[in-house]
Amino acid sequence: MILVTGATGKVGGQAVSQFLDAGVAVRALTRDPASAALPEGAEVVRGDLADPATLDTALDGVESVFLVWPTLSADHAAPATIKAIAGHARRIVYVSARGVPDPAPDAPEGDPNSILGSHALLERLIEGSGLEWTFLRPGGFAANTLMWAPQIRDTGIVRWVHGGASRALIHERDIAAAGVSVLTGTGPGTGHAGARYVLSGPEPLTQIEQVTAIGEAIGRPVRWEELSPEIALRGLLDQGWPPAVAEGVIDAHARMATSPESATSAVEEITGSPATPFRQWAADHADDFR
């Protein structure tokens, strides 16, 4: 039995489907089973990673866990939750993030209120838990461009910051496929225990190129309009983003405008299939932008 957390999200939902396709018994954790709308064949159980006391039923009989963590919002419960998982399961694949520093005696702890700080916390807890672990560290999610969907539908113009920022965005399907391969042993790679894999799409594209690809997928031009960092930051704060997180996003895109995020071959090394191009992701999600 494999437990998938974040099962109603993009990566977790893909993992549930792919485990079922592989003929593996899968249990999906959700806070609201009635509204989960998960594939037939998945055992859906109620539980909340932010409340370890709710996890006993979900973890009963579980051998492995595909862990998607509610970054920052559940960090207060992380020590107890990882301890609960380690008390039942033997193996864990954790969906972490590119940029988390590898452990070193003099490595800085980082800002615990940042996204990378949250992932670093989880990695440290998992490493000390006694579980057999594998960390997947994806870079930019292609699905993050869905934040542009309302603008594209309404105006055909994306107003955002640092159009020259370049990333090798990854399809959520590929992140899930890497975890499924690790936990089922179906890919060509071996020796995943204790491995940290940096996952990406096959090629870096600037944000302007990403917008162009979305336009091609939906069959009408989409134009980029550059915003200043100050205006973009104010927009994120107005949407309720925590200041440290919002500032981190703007600063990261500024860095990627001068130092593009490189592509890696990890997806193919783990699964045996090359990573999915962003243009294919855009075609898969074209209806979200129409």
Digit-coded pLDDT (tens) for 16-44? 999 999 999 999 999 998 888 898 999 99
Whether residue 188 lies inside any domain: the answer is: no
Residues 147 and 282 in one domain: yes
Digit-coded pLDDT (tens) for 59-75? 999 999 999 999 888 99
Residues 88 and 59: their CA atoms lie apart, in Å, by 6
What token pair was written down for 195? 């491995």
**pLDDT > 70: percent of the chain:** 96
DSSP letters, 228-287, are -HHHHHHHHHHTT--HHHHHHHHHHHHHHHHSPPPP-SHHHHHHSSPPPPHHHHHHHTHH
- What is the model's pTM? 0.92
Domain boundary among 118, 138, 158: 138
Whether residue 174 lies inside any domain: the answer is: no
Element (H, E) at 137: strand 132-138
CA gyration radius for the chain? 19
Scanning the chain, the segments in alpha helix (DSSP H) are: 10-21, 56-59, 78-86, 115-127, 149-154, 172-184, 207-218, 229-238, 243-258, 266-271, 278-284, 286-289
**What is the domain range of residue 242?**
142-169+201-261+276-289
Digit-coded pLDDT (tens) for 216-249? 999 999 999 999 999 999 999 999 988 888 898 8
> Residue 9 maps to which CATH number?
3.40.50.720
pLDDT at position 103 over 60: yes
Q: How many domains does the chain have?
A: 2
pLDDT of amino acid 267: 97
Mean pLDDT across the stretch 186-203? 88
The rounded mean pLDDT for the chain is 92
Residues 93 and 25 in one domain: yes
pLDDT of amino acid 53: 94
Residues 172 and 126: their CA atoms lie apart, in Å, by 23
Whether residue 195 lies inside any domain: the answer is: no
Residues 159 and 122 in one domain: no
Whether residue 149 lies inside any domain: the answer is: yes
Whether residue 15 lies inside any domain: the answer is: yes
Whether residue 125 lies inside any domain: the answer is: yes
Residues 101 and 164 in one domain: no
Digit-coded pLDDT (tens) for 261-289? 999 999 999 999 999 999 999 999 999 99
Residues 138 and 68: their CA atoms lie apart, in Å, by 12
Digit-coded pLDDT (tens) for 149-168? 999 999 999 999 999 999 99
**Minimal CA–CA distance to 183: which of 83, 271, 70?**
271
Residues 130 and 38 in one domain: yes
Residues 93 and 229 in one domain: no
Task: Enumerate residues 6+ apart whose C-beta is below 8 A from 180.
Answer: 15, 18, 19, 22, 66, 186
Domain boundary among 138, 160, 178: 138
Element (H, E) at 136: strand 132-138
Question: First vs last Cα of the chain: how many Å apart?
Answer: 39
Q: Residues 193, 182: contact at Cβ < 8 Å?
A: no
Whether residue 271 lies inside any domain: the answer is: no
Residues 110 and 213 in one domain: no
Residues 83 and 117 in one domain: yes
What's the Cα-to-Cα distance from 65 to each of 27, 153, 171, 181, rounded to whole Å?
9, 38, 21, 13
Whether residue 267 lies inside any domain: the answer is: no
